[in-house]
Amino acid sequence: GLRDQDAPTIFDRIIQRQIPSEIVMEDEHVLVFKDIHPQAPVHLLIIPKRRDGLTQLRYATADHQELLGKMFLTAARIAKEQNLRGYRLVINDGSEAQQSVFHLHMHLLAGRQMRWPPG
């Protein structure tokens, strides 16, 4: 059987449009949509459309290199398009890091002063 973390996630249903989300950008490889519980005025999730073993970043291999680069470039492009003055990218890997959805995703947070590290 599937290990818990290999089971399909809510993100599959978002990709398939089985549940609604506010999609910001989509191409063949990545989907970007608004987080349902935003932690900043801008809070987007950047995900691969095919999970391809990437329940967590720790399972990344050289085979994923292009996809991972694509996720970063997508973040940078959106930040430029939206004229973000500053932004933060976060990947939570593992429940100790508060990962709750086991389909790799990058958080893009912006629109407010971040509070860490202390200034």
Residues that bind ligand 5GP (CB under 6 A): 10, 21, 33-37, 45, 92, 98-101
Q: How far is the CB of 101 from ligand 5GP (least distance, A)?
A: 4
Kindly list the distances between the CA atom of residue 24 and the CA atoms of 61, 80, 81, in Å, as whole numbers in the listed order.
Answer: 28, 14, 11
Q: Closer to ligand 5GP at the Cβ: 33 or 87?
A: 33
Q: Which is nearer to ligand 5GP, 28 or 96 (CB)?
A: 96
Active site residue 29: no
Q: Which residue's C-beta sits nearest to ligand 5GP?
A: 36
Distance of closest approach, residue 115 Cβ to ligand 5GP, in angstroms: 17
Could you give the residue numbers annotated as active site? 105
